[in-house]
Amino acid sequence: MDVADKMSRERRDRRPEPIPFQYVWFQPELVRPGEETSMGPEDRTVVQLLAELKVEVPFGVETGRISGSAVANPQVPTEAQNALSRSQKYFAQSGTVQVTITRDQMEALRRIGAPGKDVEVMRSFKNDQNVTFSKHCPGCQRWIHLGGAEREGQCFCGQNYRVVFDLTPENWSLPKEMRCMDCGDELSISLGGSGPKPWHAINGHQMQCAACAKKQLADQASESPPRTRSR
């Protein structure tokens, strides 16, 4: 036995034992005859989707990927669950209903004007008493006044949002009226107090009470000296 042969033998002996019978079985996806022609949930048009969502326009239709835990619903039979996980991992949501959709359908909805993933939707509802509501910004938790008209806006923090009036059923537990964006004090309460307490308009739908404005100024003043020193 020459040296080269000996070395190659040693190398071979040092190799880990191959694990026998370790096969990964790929199940081919079979398309049953007639399946492509039948109208499945994947084939819904955007018009049909809007009808299912009970909205006329896609302005307030949130879409996105369904998280893993939501798909693995033990109530759903395994076969249906497999079909679901293959093709329908996305949702579309209005103020009334949520439906499961495909990625293509999500993209189609966004193409016709549904908000993209960088836009948060905040829902309110119209009422005869003309009561308006406020909600926390999903980005920074500051308060935003939802007001009385559907619109697009941007929070003080830069978060883009849309206000939609399709909340069903009506949720009267939502905090009412315009509030200080920082502390959440109702505007009307502070205006009723004694003496001038000027509120600061930050933008069309966010205000800051006098106390929070003062606090912000103080915070900025205490923060700025070290910032200018450390260069």
The angle formed by the CA atoms of residues 89, 90 and 93, to the nearest 5 degrees, is 150
Q: For the segment 61-90, give every residue that binds Zn ion (CB under 5 A).
A: none
**Spatial CA neighbour of 60 closest among 174, 150, 160:** 150
Return d(Cα 196, Cα 47) in angstroms, integer: 53
Q: Considering beta carbons, is residue 7 or 140 the nearer one to Zn ion?
A: 140
Q: Is 139 in the site for Zn ion (CB under 5 A)?
A: yes
Q: How far is the CB of 117 from Zn ion (least distance, A)?
A: 16
Q: Is 207 in the site for Zn ion (CB under 5 A)?
A: no
Token pair in block for residue 108: 């189609």
Q: Considering beta carbons, is residue 100 or 160 the nearer one to Zn ion?
A: 160
Among 46, 155, 167, 207, binds Zn ion (CB under 5 A): 155
Q: Is 160 in the site for Zn ion (CB under 5 A)?
A: no
The angle formed by the CA atoms of residues 90, 95 and 99, to the nearest 5 degrees, is 30
Return d(Cα 128, Cα 133) in angstroms, integer: 14
Q: Is 209 in the site for Zn ion (CB under 5 A)?
A: yes
Q: How far is the CB of 185 from Zn ion (least distance, A)?
A: 5
Q: How far is the CB of 167 from Zn ion (least distance, A)?
A: 20
Q: Is 50 in the site for Zn ion (CB under 5 A)?
A: no
Q: Considering beta carbons, is residue 164 or 207 the nearer one to Zn ion?
A: 207
Q: For the segment 178-197, give every residue that binds Zn ion (CB under 5 A).
A: 180, 182-183
**Spatial CA neighbour of 126 closest among 182, 164, 83:** 164
Whether the upstream peptide bond of residue 226 has omega within 30° of 0, thus cis, is no
Token pair in block for residue 70: 């939501």
Positions touching Zn ion (CB under 5 A) are 137, 139-140, 142, 155, 157, 159, 180, 182-183, 209, 212
